[in-house]
Chain A
Amino acid sequence: MSQTMDQRPFSPEDMSRRRKRSIALALVLAGLVVLFFVTTIVRLGGEVALRNF
Chain B
Amino acid sequence: MSDIHADISDKSEAALGGQGTVRDYWTLLKPRVMSLVIFTALAGLVAAPGVIHPWLAAVALLAIAVGAGASGALNMWYDADIDALMARTANRPVPRGAILPGEALGFGMALAVGSVLVLGLLVNIVAAALLAFTIFFYAVIYTMWLKRSTPQNIVIGGAAGAFPPMIGWAAATGSVSLASIALFLIIFMWTPPHFWALALFREGDYARAGVPMMPNVAGARETRKQILLYSLILVPITFLPSLLGTTGMLYTVVTAGLGVAFIWHAVDVYRITEGDAARRACRRLFGFSILYLFALFALIIAERILGLAPFAPVFG
Contacts and interface: CB of A to CB of B under 8 A. Distances in A.
The interface centre, meaning the residue of A14, A24, A39 with most chain B CB atoms within 10 A of its CB, is A39
Contacts of A20: 21-22
A35 interface: yes
A4 B56 CA distance: 48
Contact of B53 (A4, A36, A42): A42
B256 interface: no
Contacts of A8: 15-16
A18 B21 CA distance: 8
Contacts of B19: 14, 17
Contact of A18 (B18, B55, B56): B18
A36 B16 contact: no
Contacts of B18: 14, 17-18
A8 B15 CA distance: 10
**Interface extent on B, as a size class?**
10 to 19
Contacts of B16: 4-5, 8
Interface in B1-36: 15-16, 18-22, 25
Interface string B32-58: 000000000000000000000101100
Given A5-B16, A8-B16, A39 B122 contact: yes
A38 B59 CA distance: 10
A41 to B, nearest CB: 9
Contacts of B21: 17, 20-21
The interface centre, meaning the residue of A5, A8, A17 with most chain B CB atoms within 10 A of its CB, is A17
Contact of A17 (B20, B53, B59): B20
A8 B122 CA distance: 44
Nearest to A23: B22
B55 A38 contact: yes
B120 to A, nearest CB: 12
Interface of A: 4-5, 8, 14, 17-18, 20-21, 24, 35-36, 38-39, 42-43
Given A14-B19, A18-B18, A24-B22, 9 more contacts: A4-B16, A5-B16, A20-B21, A20-B22, A21-B22, A35-B118, A35-B122, A38-B55, A39-B55
